[in-house]
Amino acid sequence: MRALLVLAVLATGIGAASAQTPPPQQQQPPRPGNANLRPVPDGPGTRSAELQGLDKVTARTQRFYAPVGKSTRFGTLEITVGDCLVNVPEAPPESVAYLTIVDHKPGQAEEKLFSGWMFASTPSLSALDHGVYDVRVLSCTMAQGSAPPSSR
């Protein structure tokens, strides 16, 4: 009987402790190990990653801006930019973006294809592996307004 009472008290204490835990906050992506990287300096516009997408079926490329913290669509892909960093002016130019790419094929469950840092200077270092689409980082910038994507 005493054991049941102890278990009941412990269960109540655990329930109360878990009820007091704050809700998880949105996780920031881990920063790459380069101390020269920093966010794009403040200015007019929205912090964004300039990306280039390739549709391998049609062989068309498209440049577009993806605002940090928001999702952007390219074909069936949903691309979310977690952060976008650039090198300090004294260092060689570099832009890196933390991307999460999810494929939303019609009639199928969504599939997470990529989550990590992409480097503008070395796109093959961490590339999206997809049969139809390629996505690469071109730069991090302060995008002005909502410019439509341009095809090349």
pLDDT tens string 17-57 = 444 444 344 455 666 666 778 887 777 888 999 999 999 99
How crowded is residue 1: how many other Cβ atoms within 10 Å of its Cβ? 5
Does this model's pTM top 0.85? no
Convert 76-92 to b/e letters by CB count within 10 Å (16 or more is b): bbbbbbbbbbbbeeeee
| Count of residues in the chain | 152
| pLDDT value of position 128 | 87
Rounded distance, CA 29 to CA 96, Å? 12
The neighbouring-strand residues paired with 83 are 98
Domain residue ranges in the chain? 36-151
